[in-house]
Amino acid sequence: MSSSASSSTPGSPTLPPSRLGTKAHWDAVYAREVANFRENPDDEGEVWFGETASRRMIASLRSLLANNSLEAPFSVLDLGTGNGLLLHTLLDADLTPPARMMGIDYSEGSVTLAREVAEARGEGAEEIRWAQCDCVDDEEAVKRLGEWDVLLDKGTLDAIALSSHASVRSYIRSTRTLRGASGILLLTSCNFTLEELKALFLDDAEGKKDEIEELEEDKKPKFSFGGKTGNTTTAVLVRRRKE
C-alpha cells in the first residue's frame, strides 16, 4: 500500500498543501544542487525512489517493445525531470536514441542541472534535450511540445499534489495533450494507491476513454506493518482504451 491520500470528496483523493508543492521550494533545491555539482561533479543530485523504480520503468518499456505495444525508435518526454537521471538510465538501456529524448521541468534550476550533468557524462547524453515548461499553468507551452510516444513521471504527480487538487487536474490534462491518442504514460507514485490513481485519471469524460493498469506487482519493493504487506510505490501505465 502506498501512503494513501486523503479525500475531501468521494473519488477525489487529495494531499494537504505543503511547501514541497511550491516552485520556490524546488528552485531553492536545484540552485543548491547545481552549486553542489559544480563543486563536486560526482554529486549529481538525488534519485527519487531509488534506482529500483527507474529500472522497473525501463523493464516495462522493454515488455511493451517485446509485445509490440510500442515501436522503436520511440520519443520520450520525462515530466519533472529534476537532474535528468531517469533519462540516463533509459540511455544506458539503449532502447531509443538520445535525440528522441527530452526532459522538462518548471524549475529553470532543474533544467540547468540536467543539462550540465548530461554534458559532463557525454557518450550520447549531450544529445538529450532539456527545456523549462510548466505543465500546470502554461497550456500553450504544453501544446508547443507536441505529442510523444512515451511520457515518464517518477514523483512529479506526487509533488504537484502537494500544491492543490486543481493543479493535479491541470497536470493530468497536460499529460493527455502530450500523449495524444496513441501515447502512453508510465507513472510511479509514493503517495497514491492504484485505486486513487484511477480516481484521478479516469473520473471525467476524457478519462473514461483511458485505461490504467499496475506494473509488475511481484517486482515492487515491499514493506510489512501490522501484519499486512504493501508497496512502497505504485507504478502504473495509462493509455487510451482500445475501441
> pLDDT per position in the chain (243 positions), as tens?
454 555 444 456 666 667 777 889 999 999 999 999 999 999 998 887 778 889 999 999 999 999 999 999 999 999 999 999 999 999 999 999 999 999 999 999 999 999 999 999 999 999 999 999 999 999 999 999 999 999 999 999 999 999 888 999 999 999 999 998 899 999 999 999 999 999 999 987 888 889 999 986 544 555 443 444 556 789 999 999 876
Q: How far apart are CA 18 and CA 21, in angstroms?
A: 6
Could you tell me the CATH number of the domain that includes residue 230?
3.40.50.150
Q: What is the largest CA-CA distance in the chain?
A: 54
Residue 113 covered by a domain = yes
E strands, 117-176, are: 129-132, 150-154
Structural domain count of the chain? 1
Residue 41 covered by a domain = yes
pLDDT at residue number 48:
75
pLDDT at residue number 193:
93
Residue 218 covered by a domain = yes
Residue 231 covered by a domain = yes
Residue 13 covered by a domain = no
> Which pTM value belongs to this model?
0.88
Q: How far apart are CA 177 and CA 66, in angstroms?
A: 26
* Nearest residue to 78 via CA among 45, 112, 102: 102
The boundaries of the domain holding residue 117 are: 18-240
Residue 133 covered by a domain = yes
Residue 8 covered by a domain = no
- 203 neighbors 213 (Cβ within 8 angstroms): no
Enumerate residues 6+ apart whose C-beta is below 8 A from 14: 5, 6, 7, 8, 161, 165, 168
Residue 12 covered by a domain = no
